[in-house]
């Protein structure tokens, strides 16, 4: 009786695709005409979940499915999702229990999980048309995996987990692996993860861990950049730097080597000139005294030690001064005037643009404001999903501080950087060499001193004579052209999803 009543509920759900049964001679004929549907589930901000956005696009464009995204709001996903007629975004409210967490953190966590569980089940069972497949991002595991498993049973759908990392290892960063809450989380994640009908994961190392210690057979689908990640043209670069002009020229604290340019020359705002580019007689050029642009994207979480980058930037600043025989009495304003007037130096100014949102952002912004730097400047910002690829495609070097709580996942940001032909300096951990090939498309570091050494080596002679940087850029371009998300997805994910949706 229960099975019959659940199916009956599905017929009452508001889906124009499911109304053919009224005039159809048989349920079988109706099913044959109905396009298959996949529900993509993200208990988080879909705008900050690029891999699940790419899954959604592939499901719609390559598999020809209707796609229902059930996720929290916060940041807009890429325009290609928002405009795709086969992709339907169902936004859940973000649960915040600030008042209760001040009284009891544990109570707040339990109550939040319970509310999220009910919300997920409500959306998956009543708010969206019946899916053939539920594809869920993990982590977070609690309560997501249990809610999706229940919904898959009630609606007769298959349940596939895309393992990005392990939730219990992320929780262990703040509580320690031996904490009882972490142990309970581990049991929950393993128990419900094993109940899935299929699994996808991001590295061979994770595939091995899931097989050996979890009893889960997973298909490896490496992250690959979609087509909108590519090297930016001069027109795109100039347009981006013009749009970001006010942000780039506004120091985070005291005046620095970037924002002071306009003050030094008392310039009137010029739409044809940016910090990096100029337009002369309708032609675009790089400015010869431009700074080198270094980009890092971060979620500002404990698995990325941002202090390493700050220390490396400070070391670069001090080492360049020492190499050029400058002392602490050197007047900063005069140095910036010399740079502005075209004086050539063996090492360039560095502008670090750090993108992303997260809990530790303000802490590190306060630290940045306290740094006294002559040749280095920092900017933090959040870019639209359309401008972020352009920034990567316009930069000279990418930096990844991701070290992985489990040591088994790979940083998506590096994949995106390679898609834009951007070489990378990446923090070293156990499986990073599945992605970063040393001295081919990037370099690895373990300490701030090592990163500073790499910055000195790569940017010596910038922009014309930095041969090591140019060689890595060629390797990053080769990486970008060797494989694309659509190809990898069709080879590895589509067969699993077709089998599940049967």
Alpha carbon distance 316, 82 (integer Å): 42
Per DSSP, the three-state class of 345 is coil
Question: The pTM is what?
Answer: 0.82
> Residue 7: pLDDT band by 50, 70, 90 thresholds?
very low
Q: Which residue has the higher pLDDT, 253 or 494?
A: 494
**Which segment of 343-347, 388-392, 412-416 scores lowest on mean pLDDT?**
343-347
Task: Tell me what the mean pLDDT of segment 408-425 comes to.
Answer: 93
Percent of the chain having pLDDT more than 90? 58
pLDDT at 359: 83
Q: Which residue has the higher pLDDT, 107 or 241?
A: 241
pLDDT at 26: 46
Task: Tell me what the mean pLDDT of segment 353-370 comes to.
Answer: 88
pLDDT at 18: 41
Which pLDDT tens digit goes with each residue over 133-174? Answer: 999 999 999 999 999 999 999 999 999 999 999 999 999 988
pLDDT at residue 415 greater than cutoff 80:
yes
pLDDT at 372: 85
Q: How are the residues of the chain apportioned to helix, strand and coil, as percentages rounded to the nearest 5? A: 45, 15, 35
The answer to whether 52 and 146 are in contact (CB under 8 A) is no
Which pLDDT tens digit goes with each residue over 31-79? Answer: 445 689 999 999 999 988 999 999 999 999 999 999 999 999 888 898 9
Task: Tell me what the mean pLDDT of segment 84-102 comes to.
Answer: 84
pLDDT at 96: 79
Mean pLDDT of the chain: 86
Cα–Cα distances (Å) from 148 to 186, 191, 358, in that order, read 17, 13, 26
pLDDT at 300: 82
pLDDT at 234: 95
Alpha carbon distance 247, 32 (integer Å): 54
Burial class (CB in 10 A: 0-12, 13-18, 19+), 134: buried
Question: Could you write out the DSSP letters of every residue in 104-161?
Answer: -HHHHHHHHHHHHHHHHHHIIIIISPPPSEEEEEES--TTHHHHHHHHHHHHT-EEEE
CB count in 10 Å sphere of residue 254: 13
Q: Which residue has the tokens 């889960």?
A: 216
pLDDT at residue 340 greater than cutoff 80:
no
The answer to whether 413 and 388 are in contact (CB under 8 A) is no
Would strands 283-286 and 277-280 be described as parallel, antiparallel, or unpaired? antiparallel
Question: Could you write out the DSSP letters of every residue in 3-47?
Answer: HHHHHHHHHHS--GGGGGGGT-SSHHHHHHHSPPEEEEEEEEEGG
pLDDT at 148: 97
Cα–Cα distances (Å) from 453 to 107, 311, 490, in that order, read 47, 12, 41
Q: Which residue has the tokens 């940017």?
A: 459
The answer to whether 38 and 152 are in contact (CB under 8 A) is no
CB count in 10 Å sphere of residue 38: 26
The set of residues, in sequence order, having a beta carbon less than 8 Å from that of 55 and lying 6+ positions away, is: 40, 135, 162, 489, 493
Alpha carbon distance 248, 362 (integer Å): 18
| Tokens representing residue 393 in the block | 């495609």
pLDDT at residue 201 greater than cutoff 90:
yes
């Amino acid at each position: 009786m229960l099975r019959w009543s659940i199916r009956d509920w599905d017929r009452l759900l508001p889906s124009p695709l499911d109304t053919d049964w009224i005039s159809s001679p048989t349920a079988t004929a109706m099913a044959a005409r109905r396009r298959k549907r996949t529900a993509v589930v993200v208990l988080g901000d879909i705008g900050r979940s690029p891999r699940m956005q790419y899954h959604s696009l592939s499901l719609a464009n390559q598999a020809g499915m209707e796609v229902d995204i059930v996720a929290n709001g916060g940041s807009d996903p890429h325009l290609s999702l928002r405009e795709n007629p086969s992709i339907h975004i169902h936004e859940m409210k973000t649960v915040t229990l600030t008042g209760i967490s001040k009284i009891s953190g544990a109570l707040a966590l339990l109550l939040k999980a319970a509310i999220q569980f009910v919300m997920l089940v409500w959306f998956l069972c009543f708010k969206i048309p019946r899916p053939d497949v539920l594809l869920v991002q993990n982590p977070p595991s609690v309560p997501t995996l249990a809610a999706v498993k229940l919904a898959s049973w009630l609606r007769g759908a298959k349940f596939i987990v895309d393992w990005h990392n392990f939730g219990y290892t992320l929780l262990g960063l703040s509580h320690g692996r031996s904490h009882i809450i972490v142990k309970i989380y581990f049991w929950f994640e393993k128990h419900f993860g094993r109940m899935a009908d299929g699994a996808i994961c991001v590295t061979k190392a994770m595939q091995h861990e899931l097989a050996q210690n979890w009893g889960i057979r997973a298909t490896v689908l490496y992250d690959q950049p979609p087509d909108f990640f590519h090297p930016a043209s001069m027109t795109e670069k100039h347009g981006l730097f013009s749009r970001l002009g006010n942000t780039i020229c506004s120091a985070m604290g005291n005046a620095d080597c970037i924002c002071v340019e306009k003050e030094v020359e008392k310039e009137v705002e010029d739409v044809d000139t940016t910090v990096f580019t100029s337009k002369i007689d309708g032609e675009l050029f790089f400015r010869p005294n431009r700074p080198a642009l270094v980009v890092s994207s971060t979620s500002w979480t404990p698995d990325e030690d941002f202090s390493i980058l700050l220390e490396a930037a400070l070391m670069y600043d001090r080492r360049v001064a020492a190499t050029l025989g400058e002392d602490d009495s050197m007047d900063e304003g005069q140095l910036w005037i010399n740079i502005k007037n075209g004086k050539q130096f063996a090492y360039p100014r560095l502008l670090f643009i750090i993108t992303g949102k997260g809990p530790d952002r303000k802490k590190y912004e306060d630290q940045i404001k306290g740094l006294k730097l002559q040749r280095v400047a920092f900017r933090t910002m959040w870019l639209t999903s359309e401008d972020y690829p352009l920034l990567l495609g316009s930069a000279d070097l990418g930096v990844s501080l991701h070290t992985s709580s489990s040591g088994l996942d790979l940083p998506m940001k590096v994949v995106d950087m390679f898609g834009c032909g951007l070489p990378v300096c990446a923090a070293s951990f156990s499986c990073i060499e599945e992605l970063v090939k040393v001295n081919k498309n990037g370099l690895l570091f373990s300490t701030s001193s090592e990163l500073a050494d790499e910055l000195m080596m790569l940017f010596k002679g910038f922009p014309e004579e930095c041969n090591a940087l140019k060689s890595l850029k060629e390797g990053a371009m080769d990486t970008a052209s060797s494989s694309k998300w659509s190809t990898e997805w069709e080879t590895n994910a589509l067969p699993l999803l077709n089998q599940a949706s049967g």
